[in-house]
Structure 1
Amino acid sequence: MPVYYGIRLELHPDVYEPAEDTFLLAETVDVKPGEMALDVGTGTGLIALLMARKAKRVLGVDVNPKAVELAMKNALLNGIGNVEFRLSDLFENVSGRFDVITFNAPYLPGEPKKAIDLALVGGKTGREVIDRFIREVSGYLTENGRVYLVQSSITGIEETLNLFRRVGLRAEVVAKRHFFFEDIVLIKASRPW
């Protein structure tokens, strides 16, 4: 059973296994004690479980029912009780506001065929899921809340930064790793004041 950052994880072939993009998020996200956090596209639950070390409560959501089930198992396996997982297409089953919202977004162009594809394929252009997330996210952010979005250079980083600005959030690339034919970037967005 693999261990990431001290968290033991069961894996499942239909659920995205933590990889470089996950690690970039894990190593950069900043959660302060007592904050409320939301992990969109939680997968195995790793990011939610890591945030639960400091956060008061964490909600992890995923559109893949197998991911939700696996994340719940991983929370039990690690004895982490201040986290909840539920099935949700982005914010569909989410209410309230959060200090930290993370999303390791699907960004490959195409149509999902299998459950695992939901973690990778972001629609016809690869941007559909990212764009919908950005348009909706500010409604779930506290006044001083932060958004951490992982994406690839394949899907247009400038477009993402510009869309964040259009919805009233200040955004910047705070971490980047280069792999083969792409850069994986972590974009942090918050209210401009």
Structure 2
Amino acid sequence: MAFDADLLRKCADPSLEPAIVEQFVRQGGSPDPLAVTVRSGNRIILVSPAKTSEQALALVREHVRKAVVRVGVTQFPAGIGIRDASELNPALVDPCENIRMGTALFGKVWRIVFKWYGNPTSEEVMPQVLEDALHAWQTGQFEGAAVFSAPDPGEPKAAKQRREDVPQLSPATAPAPSDASAVDPNKAAIRVDLSGIGGKAP
């Protein structure tokens, strides 16, 4: 799948390392920002491909309370946090906003799985953590828990220590944070090397 690397860097939630973002979008997402996937149980419901953002949003609204609907670059679960289809935000089909929302939610899923593994520090276990996090993203479940509605466990202490060990810019040269997430310790990056995965889907 071909993805816009610059768009991922610009729009992805800063709580995730770029390597995790790339693997997440490549394996769990879609290169089509208007992609709408509808599932009922184990069955995929075929829908006409959307050619405009309006058509994509209309498809989501048509199916969202009747089936599991995923949308956009990150295949974001469209029904999360809404009670009625009228509450759906057009941002779902905006590439940058979809990446922002999708990576933020996947970041929580990643941290849930990472904590279950005991906040490991070994690089060898990271591919398995990612595989399980991707499976949890696709199913909405991990070890019997609904990951999208589960509380965010926050950043592990080990990951925080690794982040603090990275040399910091002096106040005179450090760029000002653009938003609150840039200084929120619960949204700090987990630094892992996933280069050895090779893009293999779970």
TM class by shorter chain equals: under 0.3
TM-score normalised over the length of structure 2: 0.25
Which structure is higher in helix share? 2
Which structure is higher in strand share? 1
TM-score normalised over the length of structure 1: 0.26
Structure number with larger C-alpha Rg: 2
